[in-house]
Each structure stands twice: as C-alpha cells, then as structure tokens.
C-alpha cells in the first residue's frame, strides 16, 4: 500500500515548536518515543479520528479515556450547545452541580460527599491535601509507575510521560517537597508492610486501583488485601485514583469490581464527557475537613463549570443503560486475540483487559509493576505503532499507556485490527530471520 502523507502535520509541528515547548501542550503527544512527527487532529467522530492531512484512523486512545460513548456523541453535543446558550461560566452554584454529584454518589457509594474540580491533577492534589488534613500526618505512599497528575509531590517515578522520556523525577521540584513521598513497587505487599512499619509519619496510601499509566496492570489479590488490612488496622487513609478507571472499567469504577471501599477517590475524564471536569470525594467525615466546613482550603472559579457539568450529566445518563459486560467482551477479544496471534509467530507479548481498557507489553516476562516493565521492548512497540498508523489504527504514542475501547467499536473493526496485527507479526518474524 502507498505510504501515508503526514506533510501538513509535519509543517504544523515545526510551527508549533516555535511557540510551545516541544511543540505540544502535553509531553507524550510529541511522539518522541515512537518516532516521527505528531499527528495534528482536525476532527473526531464515533470511533474515528481525522488528521489535517485527511487520514482517517480507528481510535484506540479515546482522548485518553473519556470518549467511552465514542467521539462527538450527538446527545452530549446537543446538550452542550443548549447549555452554551445560557452562558459559559458563572463562578456561582448551579442546580446541575448538585444533580451530577448525586449521580456520581449513586454510581459510587463511597463518594458520600464530593467536590467538583477541573482536572485529574487537581483532583489528586486536592484529595491528598484533604487526607493529610484529616490524618494530621504528612507522609504518604505512592507506587512507582502510578501517575496522579503533575503536582510536585507526586512526581517521583510517575507513570505515562515521565516513564516514556526516561526522566521519572521532574526538574523544578525541590527535594523537601518530596521528602514525605514514600515510593514502593506496585503489587508488592511485603514492601508495603515494611514501609508502614518503618515510618510513623505515613497516614495515606494513594494508588491507581488498576494501573493505566504504566501500561495496563491489575492489582494482585494479596496486594489489595494488604492495603485493606492497613486501612482498618492502622487507620490509613486510602485514596483510589480512578481518573482513568472510573465509569470505564465498570459503571461504579474499579472499586465496584474489586469490592473495595476507599476512604477517598478521584474521578475525571469520563465524568466530563470530554470536557475539563474531575471530582474528588469520599467519606463524609473526611470531606468535612474541606472549606468552608473545615480548614482544608481548595477553590476554583471554573470548578463545576456549567458546560462541563452538562456534558458529564448527559454522558453518565447514557452510561446507566449500557452493558459493560459487552465492553469487557470486546476488550477481551482484542487482548486474547493479540496473545493468540503473537504466540503463533513466537512474538513475546503479555496482554490483559478489564471493561473498556486493555493493554499489552512486548515481552515474554510477566509484568505486574513498573520495576518489571523494564523488560518490555519499546522498539517493538515503536514499530507496532508506526505499522498501525500506516494501516489506519491510532494507538497511544507510548509503550507505557493503556488502550481504550468505546461502546461504538464493532466486531468488524476489532477483527480488521487483529488481521493487521497478524500481518505485523509476520513482518516482525521476517525481519528477525
């Protein structure tokens, strides 16, 4: 087939680099780990993206999660357009904020009280402040490879872009800011116990209940049980970062699948229906620490923005009637299909899935945390990414990211992808001979 032209995207990238660091507004978008120039997108609809060169792709990124109903959902778009007629921002309470909070609480019972904010970073930053305000202990545990936004005290072996660029510790973060951040491996219950036993200042544990920023990795039973024990026996405040998993792996989030009630949770992406919106909340006693009820301060002019809240309400109202088992079966078809095909060609791969998320690592080694992810072949992923781009499939431009399905992805699309994956495996085998 004739190789695609990305000439307009390349020109746009050169222009953008003159005005923005790296030419992008978020690092992974720069394509540095997969090669070539980033695609500049002109529009999205359903399961498809179009770049400014006119190329169309089946999208398995979904704006990094929120497009669970597909891009440009007609009902969400109409609701947003109607809401815009009433104004874009008030900086004052609206009835829709209360309605959305009620919808979130009904779907996720642990969210007894919550606060709406604008991004996952803001939600995770605020949740930790509340946890520290409640426990009166500054120390907390995070797990290497888990990404909780770009707040200073989280940028220690964070996932996603930090892993992609091989620079897990960000410049500009003073050492004293991260001195209370205790870093241990995900899925390592013994390290978790030892860390708690060795540090009396630890009052909080934050984790992605299913990792999505170091590839897709599920928690192991013993690891999760250890966290549950620490929660009850040591009165540790547990924060689930469900910015990715919330309303995506299940309507009630990962916590509904894992049967775990965290003290606090953060949500984003899906609850905004593609608009900038997130939330943090949980135990009403802990949330009583938040101003104006308590002394933990957090504020924002655009928190609960009426347009974003409208998009979120319409999205959640549709998701109520969706069958997440169907979504899980689709992601299973991709995950197990890739594994079976790769096995036929002796291409090392590890795959997994849950609900609308799936992931894969090009390695023969079992990967259950950031430390073991060093075994994966980023060069193989780079070739996979470029091959799929040429064949009209768009994946994350990083080997350290989960992939996402929407309710609009069809069996024929999945079968076509698996056909091209088979061709990719054949290509890889030929190159290795």
pLDDT digits (tens, 9 = 90+) for 292-349: 999 999 999 999 999 999 999 999 999 999 999 999 999 999 999 999 999 999 999 9
- Check 13, 57, 147, 381 and give the catalytic one: 147
Q: Rounded to two decimals, what is the model's pTM?
A: 0.95
Span 107-155, pLDDT tens digits:
999 999 999 999 999 999 999 999 999 999 999 999 999 999 988 888 8
- Check 241, 263, 328, 352 and give the catalytic one: 241
Within a domain: 165:
yes
For residue 169, pLDDT over 70 is answered with no
Within a domain: 410:
yes
- Check 137, 218, 269, 333 and give the catalytic one: 269
pLDDT class of 158 with cuts at 50, 70, 90: low
For residue 163, pLDDT over 50 is answered with no
Over residues 158-179, the mean pLDDT reads 62
Domain boundary among 319, 336, 360: 319
How many domains does the chain contain in total? 2
Within a domain: 69:
no
Within a domain: 66:
no
Within a domain: 404:
yes
Task: Identify whether residues 112 and 250 lie together within a single domain.
Answer: yes
Alpha carbon 259 to its chain's center:
20
Span 374-401, pLDDT tens digits:
778 899 999 999 999 999 999 999 999 9
Task: Identify whether residues 242 and 331 lie together within a single domain.
Answer: no
Within a domain: 262:
yes
Within a domain: 236:
yes
| CATH code for position 132 | 3.40.640.10
Task: Identify whether residues 276 and 241 lie together within a single domain.
Answer: yes
Predicted pLDDT at 173: 80
Within a domain: 68:
no
| CATH code for position 407 | 3.90.1150.10
Predicted pLDDT at 164: 40
Over residues 71-76, the mean pLDDT reads 98
Span 261-282, pLDDT tens digits:
999 999 999 999 999 999 999 9
Domain boundary among 277, 295, 319: 319
For residue 160, pLDDT over 60 is answered with no
Over residues 35-43, the mean pLDDT reads 96
Predicted pLDDT at 73: 98
Task: Identify whether residues 334 and 357 lie together within a single domain.
Answer: yes
Domain boundary among 294, 319, 344: 319
| Domain with 372 in it | 7-60+323-432
Task: Identify whether residues 94 and 210 lie together within a single domain.
Answer: yes
Predicted pLDDT at 177: 84
Task: Identify whether residues 84 and 162 lie together within a single domain.
Answer: yes
Return the higher-pLDDT residue of 430 and 34.
34
Q: Is 241 a catalytic residue?
A: yes
């Amino acid at each position: 087939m004739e190789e695609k032209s990305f000439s307009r995207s390349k020109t746009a990238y050169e222009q953008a680099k003159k005005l923005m660091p790296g030419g992008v507004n978020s690092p992974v978008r720069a394509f540095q780990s997969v090669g070539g120039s980033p695609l500049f997108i002109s529009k999205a609809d359903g399961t498809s993206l179009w770049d400014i060169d006119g190329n169309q792709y089946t999208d398995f990124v979904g704006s990094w999660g929120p497009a669970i109903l597909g891009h440009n959902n007609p009902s969400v778009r109409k609701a947003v357009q109607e809401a815009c007629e009433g104004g874009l921002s008030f900086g004052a309470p609206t009835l829709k904020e209360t309605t959305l909070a009620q919808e979130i609480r009904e779907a996720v019972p642990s969210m007894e009280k919550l606060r709406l904010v604008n991004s996952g970073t803001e939600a995770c930053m605020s949740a930790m402040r509340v946890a520290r305000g409640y426990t009166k202990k500054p120390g907390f545990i995070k797990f290497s490879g888990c990404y909780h936004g770009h707040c200073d005290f989280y940028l220690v072996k964070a996932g996603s872009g930090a892993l992609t660029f091989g620079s897990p510790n960000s410049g500009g973060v003073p050492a004293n800011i991260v001195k209370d951040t205790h870093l241990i491996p995900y899925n390592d219950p013994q390290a978790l116990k030892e860390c708690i036993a060795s540090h009396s200042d630890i009052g909080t544990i934050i984790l992605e209940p299913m990792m999505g920023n170091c590839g897709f990795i599920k928690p192991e039973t013993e690891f999760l049980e250890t966290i549950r024990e620490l929660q009850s026996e040591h009165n540790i405040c547990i924060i689930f970062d469900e910015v990715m998993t919330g309303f995506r792996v299940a309507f009630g989030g990962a916590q509904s699948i894992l049967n775990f009630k965290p003290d606090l949770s953060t949500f984003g992406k899906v609850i905004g229906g593609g608009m900038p919106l997130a939330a943090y909340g949980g135990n009403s006693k802990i949330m009583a620490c938040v101003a104006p009820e308590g002394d933990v301060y957090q504020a924002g002019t655009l928190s609960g923005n009426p347009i974003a809240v409208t998009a979120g309400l319409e999205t959640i109202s549709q998701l109520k009637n969706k069958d997440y088992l169907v979504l899980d079966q689709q992601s299973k078809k991709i995950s197990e299909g890739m594994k079976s095909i790769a096995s036929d060609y002796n291409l090392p791969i590890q795959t997994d899935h849950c609900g609308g998320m799936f992931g894969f690592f090009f390695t023969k080694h079992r990967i259950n945390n950031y430390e073991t992810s060093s075994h994966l072949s980023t060069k193989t992923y780079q070739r996979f990414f470029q091959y799929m781009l040429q064949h009209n499939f768009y994946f994350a431009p990083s080997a350290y990211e989960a992939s996402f399905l929407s309710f609009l992805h069809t069996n024929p699309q999945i079968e076509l992808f698996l056909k091209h994956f088979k061709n990719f495996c054949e290509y890889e085998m030929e190159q290795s001979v």
